[in-house]
Amino acid sequence: MDAARKAELKAIEKKLLWLACWTVHNANHLREKGDGLKVGGHQASCASMVSIMTALYFAALRPQDRVAVKPHASPLFHAMQYLAGNQTREKLEAFRAFGGAQSYPSRTKDIDDVDFSTGSVGLGVAITAFSSMIQDYLAAKSWAGERPEGRMVALVGDAELDEGNVYEALQEGWKHDLRNTWWVIDYNRQSLDGVVREGLAGRIEAIFGAFGWDVVRIKHGALQRAAFAEAGGAHLRDWIDTCPNALYSALTFQGGAAWRKRLQDDIGDQGEVSALIDRRSDAELQELMTNLGGHCLETLAATFAEQALHDRPVAFVAYTIKGWNTPLAGHKDNHAGLMTPAQMDGFRQAMGVREGHEWAPGEGLDMSDEAICRLVRETPFFAPGPRRHSADRIETPGPHFLDDKVLSTQAGFGKILDSLAKSDHPLASRVVTTSPDVTVSTNLGPWVNRRGLFARDAVADTFRDERIPSTQKWAFSPEGQHIELGIAEMNLFLLLGAAGLSHSLFGERLIPVGTLYDPFISRGLDALNYACYQDARFMVVGTPSGVTLAHEGGAHQSVGTPLIGMSQDGLASFEPAWLDELSVIMDWSFDYLQRDGDAVHDERTWLRDETGGSVYLRLSTRALEQPMRREDEAFRRGVIDGAYWLREPGPNCEVVIAYQGVVGPEAIEAAGRIGSDRRDIGVLAVTSADRLNAGWHAAMRMRKRGARGAMSHIERLLTKLPPHCTMITVLDGHPATLGWLGSVCGHRTAALGVEHFGQTGTIADLHHHFGIDADAIVAAASELAPGRPVRLAAPI
- pLDDT (tens digit, 9 = 90+) per residue, 589-639? 999 999 998 878 888 889 999 999 999 999 999 999 999 989 899 999 999
Instruction: From 272, 321, 257, 265, select the one nearest 293 (Cα to Cα).
Output: 321
Instruction: From 377, 346, 349, 379, select the one nearest 364 (Cα to Cα).
Output: 349
| Residue 194 predicted with pLDDT over 80 | no
Mean pLDDT of 83-109: 93
CB distance 221 to 189 below 8 Å: no
Mean pLDDT of 55-72: 96
Tell me the angle at which helices 123-139 and 489-499 cross, rounded to the nearest 10 degrees.
Answer: 60
**Residue 236, CB half-sphere, CA atoms under 13 Å: how many?**
25
Instruction: From 391, 384, 388, 413, select the one nearest 400 (Cα to Cα).
Output: 413
What are φ and ψ of residue 557, in 5° steps?
A: -115, 110
Mean pLDDT of 228-234: 94
- pLDDT (tens digit per residue) in 485-529: 999 999 999 999 999 999 999 999 999 999 999 999 999 999 999
- pLDDT (tens digit per residue) in 349-366: 999 999 999 999 999 999
CB distance 541 to 413 below 8 Å: yes
- pLDDT (tens digit per residue) in 709-721: 899 999 999 998 9
Instruction: Give the strand pairing for 314-319 and 406-407.
Output: unpaired
Q: Which residues contact 206 (CB under 8 A, 6 or more apart)?
A: none
**pLDDT given at position 59:** 96
Instruction: Give the best-scoring range by mean pLDDT among 110-119, 303-312, 545-554.
Output: 303-312
Q: Kindly indicate the confidence band of residue 329, based on its pLDDT and cuts at 50, 70 and 90.
A: confident
Q: Kindly indicate the confidence band of residue 246, based on its pLDDT and cuts at 50, 70 and 90.
A: confident
Mean pLDDT of 36-47: 69
| Average per-residue pLDDT for the chain | 91
Mean pLDDT of 551-566: 90
In single-letter form, the type of residue at position 346 comes to G
CB distance 474 to 481 below 8 Å: no
Q: Kindly indicate the confidence band of residue 382, based on its pLDDT and cuts at 50, 70 and 90.
A: very high
* Cross-strand pairs, 573: 616
pTM of the model: 0.94
**pLDDT given at position 796:** 44
In single-letter form, the type of residue at position 154 comes to A
Q: Kindly indicate the confidence band of residue 191, based on its pLDDT and cuts at 50, 70 and 90.
A: low
Q: Kindly indicate the confidence band of residue 32, based on its pLDDT and cuts at 50, 70 and 90.
A: low
Task: State which H helix or E strand residue 477 sits in.
Answer: strand 476-477
- pLDDT (tens digit per residue) in 251-270: 999 999 999 999 998 887 77
Residue percentage of the chain with pLDDT more than 70: 95
Q: CA-CA distance, 657 to 655, in Å (whole number)?
A: 7
**pLDDT given at position 434:** 97
Instruction: Give the strand pairing for 181-187 and 152-157.
Output: parallel
In single-letter form, the type of residue at position 448 comes to V
- pLDDT (tens digit per residue) in 763-774: 999 999 999 999
**pLDDT given at position 144:** 92
| CA distances in angstroms from 630 to 41, 143, 244, 626, 639, listed in the order given | 58, 36, 72, 11, 11
Helix, strand, coil percent content, the chain, rounded in steps of 5: 45, 10, 40
Q: CA-CA distance, 621 to 619, in Å (whole number)?
A: 7
**Residue 369, CB half-sphere, CA atoms under 13 Å: how many?**
7
CB distance 214 to 313 below 8 Å: yes
Return the DSSP state at 359.
T
Q: CA-CA distance, 98 to 297, in Å (whole number)?
A: 35
| CA distances in angstroms from 135 to 105, 404, 498, 502, listed in the order given | 22, 39, 9, 8
E strands, 200-274, where? 214-218
Mean pLDDT of 76-103: 94
Q: Kindly indicate the confidence band of residue 30, based on its pLDDT and cuts at 50, 70 and 90.
A: low
| Residue 692 predicted with pLDDT over 80 | yes
Return the DSSP state at 87.
S
CB distance 758 to 655 below 8 Å: no
Q: CA-CA distance, 674 to 681, in Å (whole number)?
A: 8
Q: Which residues contact 701 (CB under 8 A, 6 or more apart)?
A: none
Helix/strand number for the chain, H first, E second: 33, 20
SS3 per-residue string spanning 764-782:
HHHHHHHCCCHHHHHHHHH
Number of Cβ within a 10 Å radius of residue 99: 8
| CA distances in angstroms from 40 to 60, 67, 240, 342, 786, listed in the order given | 30, 24, 29, 16, 61
| Residue 102 predicted with pLDDT over 50 | yes
In single-letter form, the type of residue at position 158 comes to D
| Residue 794 predicted with pLDDT over 60 | no
**pLDDT given at position 385:** 86
For 84-232, where are the alpha helices, taking DSSP H only? Answer: 89-93, 123-139, 164-175, 200-210, 222-228
Q: How far is CA 326 from the centre of its chain?
A: 33
**To 5 degrees, how large is the angle CA 376–CA 382–CA 387?**
155
